[in-house]
Chains A and B, each alone.
Chain A
Amino acid sequence: MSEAMRRSIEASMPWLVVVGLLVIWQASVVLLNVPSFVLPAPTEIWAALLQYRGPIFQHATYTMISTMAGFGLGIVVGLLIGIMIGSSRLVYAGLYPVLIGFNSVPKVALVPIIVLWLGIGQPTAIATAFLLCFFPIAVNVATGLATVEPEMEDVLRSLGASRLDLIRKIGLPRAMPYFFASLKVAITLAFVGTVIAETIASNKGIGYLMIQASSQFRVALMFAGVGVIAVLGIATYAIFAAIEKRMTGWAMRGKR
């Protein structure tokens, strides 16, 4: 098999798997006569998607905005905390255990508290997205900073570099691959956060749409909602994977 052919097969594998799963799904629903309020066939879901495309688009946009706002906050705060933890042993000793403890709390449990403070609506969704996504960013940036090779630091220190110089010239560039890798994880978590908050405390967004559809027994519409979330998640992941590849090619030694 030629190299080009193998690569194109490799690239089309995910699509083949998806199409295969859909075909099996459709066939089993039809053959086993599964009622559509239990499991709608892909064709029904597609029909629901087309029928409600207007509201779905609106709600999806709303979800997307909340997610991006929470994610943006997560990047800022995650970077700041990561830099502080990664560049100071004292902050590390004080903050790291607290962060680990915080991260082990299921965030769903916090949503009612957030609602109490921020009310029902977008701020709650943004806050939940933020809470879920800042942690991996902070931990990754801190790891990148804390694992700088002492030899590299010696090169700068021997020239009289200050702590700030070390962070700017070595720590941060060195932490960038870790940072971008964490963005892929964080954006997915931000989606999870937004949708969770929307299902609990919102009157807009995909999460809300699904709760509505559920109470009205519109099962196909619920699945359409799940599909939309999945597509949004994959798309944003792909965007950040592409950015990562552009920004940190040196870390891959040009392998990819």
Chain B
Amino acid sequence: MEDFVTLDNVALRYGGAKGTLALSGADLKIRKGEFAAVVGPSGCGKSSLMKLMTGLQPPTEGAIHVDGAPVSGPLSITGMAFQNPSLLPWRTLLQNVMLPLEIVRPHRHQLASRKEEYLAKARGLLKTVGLAEFEEKHPWMLSGGMQQRANLCRSLIHDPSLLMLDEPFGALDAFTREELWGVLQDIWLEKQFTTILVTHDLREAVFLADVVFVMSARPGRVIATHRVDLPRKRTLETTFDPKFIDIVHQIRNQIAQIREDSKAA
């Protein structure tokens, strides 16, 4: 399989030459259709990595390629759920989920003619995350976890071929979270888009991903890659599989080690 996303020796510095060095020497390869997870200590540059790959932020050094072409600006084949849901407060949930269709070609020119189809799709997505009855509510009437779920729907509505999720389940309780793992896995198994998931939850990473990248403390770079070859479709039973537990343990130890090292430094 070919590489869909590659990062070569990428560095990112915020705010000029004396600013914060968020990433340095980051290398990473993700194959087409693969589900990748990125884990690492807080502040190590995971969200920055996502911004680089969406083309929102140019790298200070190094090169980023998506689908064979260098990234020079935002790509409409990506869908992104940001860490902060940033739903538009003047729109209802349904209108918020429809937003990408008003921007991305060719959908933006077909809004009128395919309205029913689009609406049905948005409603379907809201239903899969359990928000069907809230479609007419405004975001500020919803809990943080509900907003995150709507955010996930918004990132999926235009069928992206590269999906980026920045801690999409951070504000959810353990049960809803595990339920949504299943939902996300189902969607991914059906559509087979390349996915990059940033998370703090190591079980979540191992449950969902084919490959887990572990990042060092800031300035972040990828220091370990774990292949998860557990069979699909995974269920909650999988999380009790000794192999699953073993991978989670390995990653946990690595991150603990990183934290020790960065404290000592």
Contacts and interface: CB of A to CB of B under 8 A. Distances in A.
B90 A165 contact: no
A120 B154 CA distance: 59
B56 interface: yes
B88 A160 contact: no
A24 to B, nearest CB: 46
A151 B88 contact: no
Residue of A169, A174, A176, A250 ringed by the most chain B CB atoms within 10 A: A250
A155 to B, nearest CB: 5
16 contacts: A152-B86, A152-B88, A154-B51, A155-B82, A157-B56, A158-B54, A158-B55, A158-B78, A159-B76, A159-B78, A159-B104, A161-B74, A174-B90, A250-B90, A253-B140, A254-B138
A159 B54 CA distance: 9
Interface in A134-185: 149, 151-152, 154-161, 165, 169-170, 173-174, 176
B103 A165 contact: yes
Interface in A174-204: 174, 176
Q: Across chains A and B, which 9 residue pairs bring their CB atoms closest together, nearest first?
A: A160-B76, A151-B86, A159-B103, A250-B90, A158-B54, A160-B74, A158-B80, A173-B90, A161-B103
Interface string B68-102: 00000111101010101010111100000001101
Contacts of B89: 250-251, 253
A251 B141 CA distance: 12
Contact of A250 (B84, B86, B105, B140): B140
Interface of B: 51, 54-56, 73-76, 78, 80, 82, 84, 86, 88-91, 99-100, 102-105, 138, 140-141, 154, 158
Contacts of A157: 56, 74
Nearest to B158: A159
Contact of A169 (B74, B76, B102, B141): B102
Given A250-B138, A253-B140, A160 B104 contact: yes
A250 B78 CA distance: 29
B138 A156 contact: no
Given A159-B74, A160-B76, A250-B138, A154 B103 contact: no
B103 A160 contact: yes
A55 to B, nearest CB: 47
A2 B207 CA distance: 55
A174 B91 CA distance: 11
Interface residues of A, number: 22
A250 B88 CA distance: 10
A6 B121 CA distance: 48
A254 B92 CA distance: 13
B141 A254 contact: yes
Contacts of A170: 88
Contacts of B154: 155
Contacts of B78: 158-159
Contacts of B80: 155, 158
Residue of B73, B86, B138 ringed by the most chain A CB atoms within 10 A: B86
A256 B159 CA distance: 39
Contacts of A161: 74, 103
Contacts of B55: 158
Residue of A160, A174, A248, A254 ringed by the most chain B CB atoms within 10 A: A160
